[in-house]
Amino acid sequence: MIQWFPGHMVKARREIEENLKLVDVVIMLLDARAPMACRNPELEKMIRHKSLILVLNKIDLAESRRTARSKQLLKKQGYRVAAMDSVHCRGSKQLLNLVQEAYAPQAEAMLKKGRRVRPVRVMVVGVPNVGKSTFLNCLAGRKMARVGEKPGVTRGKQWLRIREDIELLDTPGLMWPKIEDEKQGLKLALLNIIGENAYQEYDVAFYLVEYLKEKHPEVLQERYRVKDVDQPTEDIMAAIAAARGLLLKGGEADLDKVSRLVLQEYRRGTMGSISLE
């Protein structure tokens, strides 16, 4: 079981609770490669009284067929859902239409009372490292928020006016205190959502190689020159080490370097588009 709840998460939770009073609509970002694993039950409970839009982010790293299936499943559960590639800014128009749709009842109520319709206030939330800063930069059309690879680098409150009728509020990434399901924990670690101190790289790399064996053996064969994908996972990792020259003195596989290699290549998308759900 992975447990990861550093002190800044307590502060993040308090900040989100306070800011909820200021907004009309909440956008929750999910990594399109494992959207169900990224759903934060504690966060969803906090925002249950607000209009919620789920965004499957990083679709450029996910398998389009699986993303379409996840999107359909979430829609059946009654959610408004959009899919985005924030790096190349694809899908933003559909999302902004959903924001207006979610805000329409409040806008109509203002008009009925003879009031001017103010810009919709939107909060952006999600687990760490799900791409919030890149997402905000995409919507704003310019670099507005700091972007980093380490989970939880975004700091402080940032209101962004992205159009005359839409204001966005960024918030820190929020994890939940315990991850009871081991497979979910491994997925979150693989997606770099959980801090690296909470897991062993070898365990996560082992999980990834096992997954590739089952779902994408061609990646092991073509990218890593593994001839026999039916052999034990430990032997496949040793074969990758041999193919890439990641060996210790005496010719033994350097499993630390192999683990780091496959994790980095998965996270950067250099293996290709691979979904975990």
Chain mean pLDDT for the chain: 87
Ranges 11-15, 52-56, 64-68, 215-219: which has the least confidence: 11-15
Report whether pLDDT(172) > 80.
no
The pair of structure tokens assigned to 210 is: 């096992």
Q: How far is CA 94 from CA 21, 53, 55, 82, 154, in A?
A: 26, 11, 10, 7, 25
Cα–Cα distances (Å) from 74 to 37, 93, 102, 170, 219, in that order, read 13, 19, 16, 23, 29
Q: Any idea how long the chain is?
A: 277
The answer to whether the CB of 183 falls within 8 A of the CB of 211 is: no
Measured CA to CA, the distance from residue 36 to residue 39 in angstroms comes to 5
Answer with the residue of higher pLDDT: 199 or 76: 76
Residue 156: both structure tokens together: 């402080």
The pLDDT confidence band at residue 15, using thresholds 50, 70 and 90, is: confident
Residue found by looking up tokens 């447990």 in the block? 3
Rounded CA-CA distance 116/107 in Å is 9
pLDDT of residue 152: 41
Of 10-24, 50-64, 103-117, 162-176, the least confident: 162-176
pLDDT at 126: 85
pLDDT at 144 over 60: no
User: What number of other Cβ atoms are within 10 A of residue 73's Cβ?
Assistant: 14
List the domains of the chain with CATH numbers: 2-178 (3.40.50.300), 200-268 (1.10.1580.10)
Indicate the pLDDT class of residue 43, thresholds 50, 70 and 90.
confident
pLDDT at position 146: 42
Beta strand 178-179 with 2-3 is antiparallel
Helices 182-190 + 201-215 axis angle, to 10: 100
